[in-house]
Amino acid sequence: MPKTESEARASELESKLSGTRRDLEVARSTIQDLAQQLSQSSAEIDELQGKLSNFVPITELETIKREPQSKIADLEEKLAVYAEKANRLDAGLTEGRETQCCNQPSKV
């Protein structure tokens, strides 16, 4: 191989090597950026998992809600019974007053 061809080949290889080095630097920079993004994402995931752990699971929440709902239903039933008794007592008192009012001798 003549000297000029060798020099041209060497120059071509040096140019390729330089391009490859630039590509390698770009790849390193990209990898560093991605590693930083991954680290930030991991930190955000950890933070979100911490927040989620503070929440009550939905199934547990449903169980907790059922207890007061059951108590409310029981109280509503008792209230209905007491309201019926109160209505009967009120009707009895009204009837008693009417009877007492009509059975009293007049004071003329």
Domain ranges of the chain: 1-55, 56-102
Q: C-alpha angle 96/99/100, rounded to 5°? A: 85
At 1, is the pLDDT very low, low, confident or very high (cuts 50, 70, 90)? Answer: low
Nearest CA to 43 out of 5, 64, 51 is that of 51
Identify whether the C-beta of residue 56 lies closer than 8 Å to the C-beta of residue 63: no
Label residue 106 by pLDDT band (50, 70, 90): low
pTM of the model: 0.44
Residue 56: CB partners within 8 Å, gap ≥ 6? Answer: 64
In the block, which residue shows the tokens 């991991």? Answer: 42
Summarize pLDDT for 40-68 with one digit per residue, the tens.
999 999 999 888 877 767 788 788 888 88
